[in-house]
Structure 1
Amino acid sequence: MDINIQQCLQEAKELLVKSGFPVTPEEVAELAVNDFGLGDIRKEGFAFIDILRSPRLRITLLILLPNQTLPQHMHPSYDNEQGKEETIRVLYGMTKVYVAGNATKDIAIPKAKESYYTAKQEVALNVGQQYSVQPGTEHWFQAGPQGSVNICFQNRVDETKNIFSDPASQGCPIKAY
């Protein structure tokens, strides 16, 4: 395993401990990271543990390292159903959610990626706050300087249907059951 990946996993575990959210050793063993095929996990990527995953529901711990960005994407409709609705609730740190709307000033978009980050209205979430992203909404997440641990509730599980703004992205290859 790449040393950078190992370091990211270790840092994600440390953030998880700081959050105080109870997880079993088996769940911690399932901790995974994804850089979406973009090659710079500290800039664009995330760590996650699926707490529950069924054909119709997914509950995930989503961990972002300090200032790490989960790239802009959307959840389209498919198979005659709406796309995924996603609610993110902060357990530790601060998470910024970006959606379409009035642009927030001084957004920290990953360098040379400005054209792939068009959703620029910031919704800053602190511990205990949550935000629901509706199906078909372009959005992205970014941690604050401490990193963040979030719990996400999602009504669709097939992540291969997500559409990422950056054409170089390989997405998040988590298929439905």
Structure 2
Amino acid sequence: MITESSMRQAKRRAGDMIRKAGIRCSDQELDRMDVADFGLSNLFVEGAEILPLAETEKVACRIIALFPGQTEPEHWHEESKEIGKSGLIPGKEETLRVITGTLRVFIEGEPNTSESVIPEGKEAYYTCRHQILLEPCENLTLYPGMKHWFQAEEEGCVFYTISTTAKDGSDPFTDPSVVRKTQIIREK
């Protein structure tokens, strides 16, 4: 859960990062940005600011802004239980392209990083320990069923995610406490 003022602050800060990265967006687009704390109530440690640019039944394009050290929890994309026009929706294939900053992407494989990058007390929920560093203009494709998590380095990171159909509400997370829809606390 986050407060309305925290959500507004996160949108403003992420919008500034996106515009500073050279991406032109309207105020209306930035207002639609999803501030995701994944129900963990610790947005600046585990969270993401997600700006949808296009979403159809076949493709999606988004911009994700991560604040310095902010981590999007470990998850994977599996076949959706929903039925689209052409049958079951397969797991999402997703290509990441960094615009500014450095993105740490962790996938399954030979461990090559220390646990110091894992949010404190969450070691059991971040099982992928093979790190790939992505710099601006570098891409990485993640395939359906491939477990992964992201983290921005100290300068923060802005990146595109271009994918097949996005049904993020059905993506499983390693941490059973994760809730996909952020709850906003109304302030008086």
Structure 1 length-normalised TM:
0.91
The aligned runs of 1:22-171 (5 Å cut-off) are 22-78=24-80, 80-107=88-115, 108-171=117-180
The separation in 2 between residues aligned to 1:172 and 1:164, in whole angstroms, is 13
Rounded Cα–Cα distance in structure 2 between residues aligned with 1:7 and 1:28: 12
Compared CA separation, residues 172 and 86, structure 1 to 2 (3 A): farther
Runs of 4+ in 1 over 4 A off after TM superposition: none
Q: Given that residues 63 and 161 in structure 2 are in contact (C-alpha distance below 8 angstroms), is that contact kept between their aligned partners in structure 1?
A: yes
- Number of residue pairs the alignment of both structures matches: 173
* Cα distance between partner residues in 2 of 1:18 and 1:26: 17
1:26 counterpart SS class = helix
**In 2 relative to 1, CA 32–134 (structure 1 residues): closer, same or farther, beyond 3 Å?**
same
SS in 2 for 1:163: coil
Cα distance between partner residues in 1 of 2:67 and 2:29: 19
Aligned identity (percent) is 28
CA contact (8 A) 1:50 1:60 kept: yes
Per-residue CA shift, 1:63-91, capped at 9, x if unaligned? Answer: 10111000000101235443101111001
SS of structure 1 residue aligned to 2:73: strand
Between Structure 1 and Structure 2, whose CA radius of gyration is higher? 2
Q: How far off is 1:172 after superposition?
A: 5.0
Match for residue 2 of structure 1? 4
Gaps of 5+ in 1: none
Offset at residue 102 of structure 1 (A)? 1.2
Q: Using structure 2 for the length normalisation, give the TM-score.
A: 0.86
Question: Contact between 2:11 and 2:31, CA under 8 Å: does it hold in 1?
Answer: no
